[in-house]
Amino acid sequence: MPDKPEYIDLLNDIRLQEHRAGLFLKAWADTTPDSDLRGCLTMVAEREDSHGQIFERRIRELGFAGDDKDDPVFAERMRVLSSDMTDVEKIAWLREATASAPKPTVRERYEAATDDDSVDALTRSLLRWFTDVENDSGAYMRRVYAQLEGSA
């Protein structure tokens, strides 16, 4: 097995984060009464799950295997986002949880890796594409959240 580059851990962290986000966003989509939010969450959840698969495959292509790690906040996110809280309450909770995430965040790490020459060119390209898709998903979610908050 080749020497393990440091960025494999980053790819694994992305893999896990994306897979888990797909699960908790799907759980929220299944509970919301708002059809616009349900459509948004369903699409983004599908993207997140797909990203998890893509990063798992990239790790294997580089000759390594993903490493499952516990996520101490995942169970709480599932509990809150599948609860009977209002959508506006869930949005506020999620913003607070995101703001209190440890630094550097996975996003800060992968954005830095797009310009890191120690990361192979194909993986840097994947990370740039991934950043663009994440930005698109975030913009879509912010628009739908703003509509909900405006009507509350």
Range of the domain at 64: 7-151
* Separation CA 39–CA 109 (nearest Å): 29
Domain holding 27: CATH number?
Answer: 1.20.1260.10
Range with the poorest average pLDDT among 1-5, 18-22, 23-27, 61-65:
1-5
In-domain check, residue 1: no
User: What tens digit of pLDDT does each residue of 34-69 get?
Assistant: 999 999 999 999 999 999 999 999 999 999 999 999
Contacts of 20 (CB under 8 A, 6+ apart): 71, 74, 77
In-domain check, residue 22: yes
User: What tens digit of pLDDT does each residue of 79-104 get?
Assistant: 999 999 999 999 999 999 999 888 99
**Count of domains for the chain:** 1
In-domain check, residue 56: yes
For residue 1, the model assigns a pLDDT of 53
For residue 2, the model assigns a pLDDT of 65
For residue 152, the model assigns a pLDDT of 81
* Separation CA 92–CA 90 (nearest Å): 5
Q: Indicate if the pLDDT at residue 112 is higher than 90.
A: yes
For residue 135, the model assigns a pLDDT of 97
In-domain check, residue 2: no
User: What tens digit of pLDDT does each residue of 4-17 get?
Assistant: 999 999 999 999 99
